[in-house]
Amino acid sequence: MEKKEIKQRENLDETVEKIIGAAPDKEEPRRFCRKCLTREMDQTEYFQNLHEYIAHLDKDLKVDDTVYEARLAHCKTCDDLYQGMCRICGCYVELRAAMKKNRCPQVHPRWNRVKNDE
Ligand code: SF4
């Protein structure tokens, strides 16, 4: 695994820990609940952390804004988009679309991978 991928995974782990273990009060010790369901989480904080994570993805791994918005435009017109998630892969499309290595999971993808030199 490349150094960047390792760093990305570490960042993702930290973000996931923030999402699932965030305590509302800073005085309160952070709770880590790896078994929580999304319905048990504070949705506002969950999505804030998700958007923060997307904003701070490594530039080498992330698509530029034009590609990102084009991908999301495809998702917006797709019947498989449901409440921000792709019904085929289960990903939040805003996160999936941010990564160069990802593609739409349909058999005939609506958007494709971006190579690093593109
Ligand atoms: S990733 Fe592809 S299948 Fe999923 S919602 Fe977006 S366009 Fe539709």
Amino acid 40: pLDDT? 77
CA 110 – ligand 1 centroid, Å: 7
Out of 80, 91, 101, give the residue to mutate to test ligand 1, the one with the largest number of ligand atoms within 8 Å of its CB.
80
108/118 Cα distance (integer angstroms): 21
15/35 Cα distance (integer angstroms): 15
CA 28 – ligand 1 centroid, Å: 39
5/2 Cα distance (integer angstroms): 5
Tokens 């019904």 sit at which residue? 87
72/102 Cα distance (integer angstroms): 13
101/84 Cα distance (integer angstroms): 20
Over residues 25-81, the pLDDT tens digits come to: 445 444 445 666 767 778 888 888 889 999 999 999 999 999 999 999 999 999 999
- Give yes or no for residue 103 CB within 6 A of ligand 1: no
